[in-house]
Structure 1
Amino acid sequence: MTRMTQPVIGEDGLARCPWAAGDPVNMAYHDEEWGMPVEGEAAHLERLTLEAFQSGLSWLTILNKRPAFREVFAGFDADTVASYDVHDIERLMAETRIVRNRRKIEAAVANARATVALRERGGLVDLLWSFRPAESPAPRGTSEQVASTVESTALSKALKEAGFAHVGPTTMHALMQAVGIIDDHLVGCHRRGCASLPR
């Protein structure tokens, strides 16, 4: 029999996805951001970049370092990051407050350049949202959640063709969850439905 982890009831009486229970940073992110649409190119590029940096690490690690990421990547302004050169990459590799992975840092710069280039074809935001499925998943437990989908695989392919790096199907599924392209909050979670808010 497949084990299904249901929403967890917190001390405040609210039901949450299990990953949000316990740590206050995770809980705040779950309650205030995860699954909610964001506005603008920089906000979408930020989520794409942070999801790429998260690969192989805990999301809590990324959340705790997010203020530093925002600082060193100029608020994820695509034009600014796109102008970073080899000296900037070395500067970022010496920055102890972020994840110092050369491939991920180089990917972040490449992705900013690709984001700038995409403006001629509608932009990053429209491209990401064009892969929103007709129906959002409605998982009743964590055993019904998946790591990637047909849509996240197609999005990954489209982004790679546009010059993006470190945007595999699993990472893009996490991005789609994060920005509300899909609603992967468990049925019964008090944040279920937040993805239906207008972007």
Structure 2
Amino acid sequence: MTQTITKPISFDEFVAWYPENATCKYELHNGRIVEMPLGTGAHSNIIGFIRLKLGVIIDRYELPYSIPGDCLLKPLDDESGYQPDIIVLDKGELSKEPRWQKESIITLGESVRLVVEVVSNNWQNDYLRKAGDYELMGIPEYWIVDYLGLGGRRFIGEPKSPTLSVYTMVDGEYEVRQFRGNDRVESVAFPELELTVQQIFEG
């Protein structure tokens, strides 16, 4: 049984608390442990589809990247920790990561080529919390895959519709480009990618 913690905790306390062989995922948000809900079939299919397509490109072009099965991403503050739906790591940078080999923890934005989050009902985490933290870490590219159009109007416009937002680092800040329908997704990390938004959403 997982022990309940009610007081705010640090990232290291969260790592020590994290149950072995957990049947679900947990994240740390502002010192509070958050159980991540199990994704729907469509949510899981989209994650698997993107992971597969990126993996094919990595293999075909012999890119020095890897997509780990499990990974904990530590933002700059000491009260948060995330498990991205997909994270693409630069293998050449992992030797600089002090906690990677023993704990699968990433602390440096330079180690990351791309983070992908597929939106569920708690869309505020992806658009507000994580976008800000990933920007501060210097992660060069971040996708928000909002296949149900759940995000706030200030993020995806009115009327709300399914949108894939690509956040790209430019001069230390994220610039956002949005793709919908038959738009081809443009990625800095994967310029070879030949996928439309609709293909991704259909998984």
Taking structure 2 as the reference length, the TM-score comes to 0.24
Structure number with the bigger relative contact order (C-alpha 8 A, sep ≥ 6) is 1
Please state which structure has a larger fraction of its residues in strand: 2
